Amino acid sequence: MELIEVTNGLRFPEGPIAMRDGSVILVEMFGPRITRVRPDGSKETIAEMTGGPNGAAIGPDGFLYVCNNGGCFTELDFGGLSFPGPFDQANYSGGRIQRVDISTGEVTDLYTECDGRALRAPNDLVFDTSGGFYFTDHGIRDLTARTADLTAIYYASVDGSSIREIDFPVEGPNGIGLSPDGTTAYWAETHTGRVFRRNITAPGVLAPTMPGDTQAVLYGLPGLQLLDSLAVDGAGNVCVATLVNGGITVISPSGELLEHVATGDLLTTNICFAADGSDTAYITLSGTGRLVKTQWKYGGLKLAYSA
């Protein structure tokens, strides 16, 4: 697949959202800010933020919903590439889910905890057709304290009235997505290199699983391959951004590895599809600070809400 550069000069782009007007809204984790990229590659700032904006999605009310990791990563330059470095407590402002008014840039904290437990480093989210959203908490690895969080998958409402933990424990969950029919949730664990799947029995309710249930894992990548965000395409394939082996790994809904689309960037972090569900795919290359696009041979998938 040919990759065409849309723009460059971004500070660790993540969470791309293709808009109906042809622009792409994304976060710059080390900006930290929300940025709109026009089709001609020009950029405009929607909102300046504190912390570390990560995943983003349009909700049923037209607002932007953002996973903010609280600034849990320190930006490092490694051979000219931008890398998320170790946790620094002095720069950490707390994990949270935020609502952003795209027209005014107003940022509102929606959730900072669940059942009295603070959110640590929310990473990615996806809306269902009922108007709620699933999200991952990647957690924090604190090298100084020699600790790593066990976190959870959550389901929440857009009005701030309801948040609940729907799967625990998970280890470093990153990207999350839904099957085209909305009956299966997929999420990727960064450090284990595995994509998990669970049946959805009702909005925000996952079917129980037993310890040792091999069906809970869709696919596990061999060797040193770390997983970032993901999207589900028009064929129902899980398209997961892959770190180190930079590119998009395409996994069928039956768990077959279809291909790896190399991008040339070790820190390929996310993929999204055109707002109308057509076959244009946008990919964030965070190490080199670029947004690229390509024609996705499996077809795109329209999300529950777009603007």
**pLDDT tens readout for residues 8-22:** 999 999 999 999 999
Residue 99 lies in a domain: yes
d(CA 4, CA 148): 38
Q: What is the CATH number of the domain that holds 157?
A: 2.120.10.30
Is the confidence at residue 307, as pLDDT, over 80? no
Range 250-258, long-range pairs (CB < 8 A, 24+ positions): 250/298, 251/195, 251/218, 251/219, 253/179, 253/184, 253/218, 255/218, 255/219, 257/219
| pLDDT number for residue 190 | 98
- The pLDDT tens digits of the residues spanning 85-94 come to 999 999 999 9
Helix then strand then coil, % of the chain, to nearest 5: 0, 50, 45
Q: What percent of the chain has pLDDT over 70?
A: 100
In a domain, 46, yes or no: yes
Contacts of 297 (CB under 8 A, 6+ apart): 1, 279
Angstrom CA distances, 67 to 76, 86, 111, stand at 21, 19, 10
In tens, the pLDDT along 231-287 reads 999 999 999 999 999 999 999 999 999 999 999 999 999 999 999 999 999 999 999
Q: How many domains does the chain have?
A: 1
In a domain? residue 62: yes
- CA-CA distance, 100 to 56, in Å (whole number)? 10
Number of continuous H segments (helices) and E segments (strands) in the chain? 0, 31
pLDDT tier for residue 213 given thresholds of 50, 70 and 90: confident
For the stretch 163-190, pLDDT in tens is 999 999 999 999 999 999 999 999 999 9
From the list 196, 68, 185, the residue with the least C-alpha distance to 122 is 68
Residue 203 exposed, middle or buried by CB count within 10 Å (0-12, 13-18, 19+): middle
Determine, yes or no, domain membership for 201. Answer: yes
Q: Is residue 69 part of a domain?
A: yes
Whether the CB-CB separation of 152 and 135 falls below 8 Å is answered with: no
260 found inside a domain: no
Among 51, 23, 25, smallest CA distance to 38 is for 23
Q: How many CB atoms lie within 10 A of CB 123?
A: 31
Q: Is the pLDDT of residue 134 over 90?
A: yes
| C-alpha dist (Å) from residue 217 to 32, 190, 199, 214, 233 | 34, 14, 12, 6, 19
Whether the model clears a pTM of 0.85, i.e. scores above it, the answer is yes
d(C-alpha 109, C-alpha 98), whole Å: 4
Q: Band of the pLDDT at 1, cuts 50, 70, 90?
A: confident
Report yes or no on 209 lying in a domain: yes
CA torsion sign for 288, 291, 295, 299 is positive
Candidates 104, 106, 166, 102; CA nearest to 132 is 166
Q: What is the pLDDT averaged over residues 73-79?
A: 94
C-alpha distance from residue 173 to each of 25, 34, 37, 295 (Å): 23, 22, 27, 28
The predicted pLDDT at position 210 comes to 85
Query: The domain containing residue 120 runs over which residues?
Result: 7-222
Average pLDDT, the chain: 97
Contact 24, 16 (CB under 8 A): yes
Residue of 140, 159, 160 whose CA lies nearest to 150: 140
Q: Is position 26 within any domain? A: yes
